[in-house]
Amino acid sequence: MGTKSRNYYLIPYVLWIALFVVAPILLVLYYSFFNIEGHFTLENYKKFFTPVYLKMTFSSFWYAFLITFFTFIIAYPTAYLLTKTKHKQLWLLLIIVPSWINLLLKAYAFIGIFGTYGAANKFLEAMGVGGKQILFTDFSFVFVSVYIFLPFMILPIFNALNDLNPSLIDASNDLGASPLTTFKRVIFPLTLDGVKAGCQIVFIPALSLFMLTRLIAGNRVITLGTAIEQHFLVTQDWGMGATIAVFLIIAMVIIMLLTGKRKSGMLR
Amino acid sequence: MTDKTIIRFQQVTKQYDNDPAVLDNVSFEIERGKFYTLLGPSGCGKTTILRLIAGFIEPSDGNIYFNGKKVNQLPANKRQVNTVFQDYALFPHLNVFENVAFGLRIKKMKSNIVEQKVKEALRFVNLEGYENREIREMSGGQRQRVAIARAIVNEPEVILLDEPLSALDLKLRTEMQYELRELQRNLGITFIFVTHDQEEALAMSDEIFVLNNGKIEQSGNPNDIYDEPINRFVADFIGESNIVSGTMLEDYVVKFTGKTFECVDGGFHPNEDVEIVIRPEDLEITKPQDGKLQVKVDSQLFRGVHYEISCYDNDGNEWLVHSTKKATVGENIGLHFESEAIHVMRYDETEEDFDKRLEAYEEGSHGN
Ligand SMILES: Nc1ncnc2c1ncn2[C@@H]1O[C@H](COP(=O)(O)OP(=O)(O)OP(=O)(O)O)[C@@H](O)[C@H]1O
Ligand SMILES: [Mg+2]
């Protein structure tokens, strides 16, 4: 009786998963076997392994890595400082609020700021450095992406640090460890789960970014996300777009397995 | 201060924000190689004293000296002190071996020496063969013992133990009491031990500090504290006591429950109001007419070693008696005691005055 009624509760969830997760993935897989004329083919997969697409894959991973790396470099100290402040929940909220604003709005705001006559250039001129091309560069792409992803990385790291028993830090100092050693041997290993969760949340969407590549990077950065968009909306080559998506999905699954929590629950 | 002194607190006060002081102007000295116990009710500041010694917090006022050097600001990792934490504070991402080895690895000791020392420490706490266990796979008592091993393996000058035996069953606890005491003697390390448990304190210590409300009420060796408590709080906290109010007619003559008794205490003003302590084991049941006090048995509990008999006198004072002989509830009995069994306490006497008075008037009167 108990398990039966519990099964009924699962129905909406299962329906949701089937309609919006499983079915689309199967459709993507299905389309990936057709060429632009609608004939069954393995051409798309062969094409994926040509230098054009491999380079695109590499650049996707490279930028996703850069974005994740810089986000982490900024997020960890920020989260650490947050746990030390008096009203930490309030500060955390202030950091999270920007993530509620629509991505496109933020992108357009940055176009304004980084544009030739934007605030950033005005500032550089005032500093005596002189105007620079900021928009449509790798730098602006990574910068804006990091800005957008930052709250998602800070949150899990903050939670991990916040859960850390402070007497473990005392214990480490007590046993002769300097603050740096304590960080390396106690604090960081014990917050690794939060770091992994944060990296996962940033790296996976960063792999398939496409709006920012056009708006901020001016299509100078071509990632797999951009390529998929181009194939579906511009060249109408759904087969090739789907093939790229298949590889993207595989990559994401691998990343999730790599950064997932260890089953042994070693840290809890 | 002598060169035996290893730690000295000089009028140390600790206050958080604007709350009342957690430690209020506390001064004491710790001598090298002795076993000290901090004893007191929950929240009286025992852990705070340990945290000050370990260097996790700084005093708000006053100074702390270690080997004659002021260490108020010295960080914890530079102090020759190791702590067994009240909540163990074992590292959850390391197994038992690595937890115990943590301090040795920081000192960059050779791995074969680390292995040997860790094994030895684990053997001492009866945890041989648990090296590869994860902390979450250990029981509360086992964790406590890992925490002890993690501190002693470093052989520091001072070990601070914050209720290190509280999670153990009686048998293991008694065993560990003996072994800790023996270890302390063998290594010659200074132990500062915190406990709620007065029996543990009496059994293990060279010196006991009885704390209450952020102040040291009394310090001394277990015998002195048990036999000559300075006030009602100490008398009540250490062992069980019968405490009644009385009047000191003159030195060596005290009046309580309407009767006059000879005693061995002196140094009072004539007719000074005082409190009288008689320990339950110093009371002896007699026939009513043979007793110094006449009481009626109210209830009786079998405590294993003795009966705990609760009686009331005509004034309504309760008298606890520990006796190996059984009494009958409702019966009128007499209570006999020696004049040495009476301990007289002045109201609001400082420890300094108390010690001076005792020295002047009680030479040789109490068996030591
Ligand atoms: N960080 C802090 N901020 C404010 N008050 C504190 C802090 N740490 C301790 N206290 C207060 O200091 C007092 C003494 O605490 P302490 O931990 O020394 O007690 P204790 O004697 O060890 O008690 P127990 O036997 O329960 O462990 C308590 O009233 C406690 O609330
Ligand atoms: Mg405590």
C-beta of B48 in contact with ligand 1 (< 6 A): yes
Q: What is the DSSP letter of A19?
A: I
Domain for residue A32, yes or no? no
- For atom 8 of ligand 1, which residue has the closest CA? B48
C-beta of B45 in contact with ligand 1 (< 6 A): yes
User: Looking at beta carbons, which residues of chain B come within 8 Å of A178?
Assistant: 77
Based on the structure, what is the number of domains in chain A? 1
B69 at A interface, C-beta within 8 A: no
What are the beta bridge partners of residue B368? Answer: none
State which amino acid sits at residue B207: E
Domain for residue A130, yes or no? yes
At residue B2, the pLDDT reads 65
Domain for residue A185, yes or no? yes
- Minimal Cβ distance to A167: which of B55, B89, B134: B89
CB pair distance less than 8 Å for B91 and A171: yes
Beta-carbon contacts below 8 Å between A and B: 65
Instruction: Note down the domain range covering A116.
Output: 50-258
Domain for residue A16, yes or no? no
Predicted ipTM beyond 0.90: no
CB pair distance less than 8 Å for A173 and B55: yes
C-beta of B18 in contact with ligand 1 (< 6 A): no
B276 close to B254: Cβ distance less than 8 angstroms: yes
User: Looking at beta carbons, which residues of chain B come within 8 Å of A179?
Assistant: 77
Q: What is the mean pLDDT of residues A188-198?
A: 94
CATH number for position A143:
1.10.3720.10
pLDDT tens for the 368 residues of chain B, in order = 567 899 999 999 999 988 899 999 999 999 999 999 999 999 999 999 999 999 999 999 999 999 999 999 999 999 999 999 989 999 999 999 999 999 999 999 999 999 999 999 999 888 999 999 999 999 988 998 999 999 999 999 999 999 998 888 888 889 889 888 988 998 889 999 999 888 899 999 999 999 999 999 999 999 999 999 999 999 999 988 999 999 999 989 999 998 999 999 888 999 999 999 999 999 999 999 999 999 999 999 998 889 999 999 988 999 999 999 888 999 999 999 999 999 999 998 888 888 888 888 765 444 43
The phi and psi torsions of B55 (rounded to 5 degrees) equal: 95, 20
B230 at A interface, C-beta within 8 A: no
- For atom 16 of ligand 1, which residue has the closest CA? B45
CA distances in angstroms from B249 to B66, B293, B340, B341, B363, listed in the order given: 47, 19, 17, 18, 21
- Minimal Cβ distance to A165: which of B77, B89, B102: B89
- Give residue B47 CA to ligand 2 midpoint distance, Å: 4
Determine the atom of ligand 1 nearest the C-alpha atom of B214: 14
Domain for residue A30, yes or no? no
User: Looking at beta carbons, which residues of chain B come within 8 Å of A189?
Assistant: 93
Domain for residue A33, yes or no? no
**Exposed/middle/buried for residue A4 (C-beta within 10 Å: 0-12, 13-18, 19+):** exposed
Helix axes A51-84, A138-163, angle to 10 degrees: 40
Domain for residue A82, yes or no? yes
Q: What is the DSSP letter of B168?
A: S
User: Looking at beta carbons, which residues of chain A come within 8 Å of B76?
Assistant: 170, 173-174
Domains assigned to chain B: 5-227 (3.40.50.300), 240-362 (2.40.50.140)
* Chain B interface mutation, best of A174, A187, A263, A268, highest count of B Cβ atoms under 10 Å: A174
Domain for residue A115, yes or no? yes
At residue A4, the pLDDT reads 67
B253 at A interface, C-beta within 8 A: no
